[in-house]
Amino acid sequence: MGEAVSCLTDIPFFKEALIMAFTCADCGYRNNEIKGGGAIPPQGVLTRLLVEGQDDLARDVLKGDTAGIHIPELELEITQGSLGGFFTSVEGLLGKIREHLQEGNPFGVGDSAVKHHLGEEEGK
């Protein structure tokens, strides 16, 4: 049996937010979600992060449910609302994007014909 907790808080440079977390002590499953509270501002805020080293991957990320993500180096753009709102690290964000892409597009992770062809090459 898991435990669910929630907290309403005011986050600087963000807005009022409802933070919800669930943890299962039996299986180790964890999940967190953030829902924005209050009025929707007339304009969004653009935040940029240049990842230059391992330490940058450990930086905290608070993504609102209406925020989009653009990673030009990967030619990747996640539209607003695609992943929901959550609190994680940059590394956790990349893992969540990868997981979302694998679950949502099973054909995006390889071609069975290529794997079959590579298997034939290895046998020679």
Which pLDDT band, with edges at 50, 70 and 90, does 87 fall under?
Answer: confident
Write down the pLDDT at residue 119.
55
Q: From CA 86, how far away is CA 92, in angstroms rounded?
A: 10
Mind listing the pLDDT tens digit for each residue in 12-67? 777 788 888 999 999 999 888 888 777 777 777 888 999 999 999 999 988 888 88
Are 38 and 16 in contact by the 8 Å Cβ rule? The answer is yes
Assigned domain for 18 exists: yes
Domain count of the chain?
2
Q: Does the structure show a pLDDT above 70 at 115?
A: no
Regarding whether 23 and 63 lie in a shared domain, the answer is no
pTM for the model stands at 0.65
Residue 100's CB: how many other CB atoms inside 10 A?
14
Assigned domain for 106 exists: yes
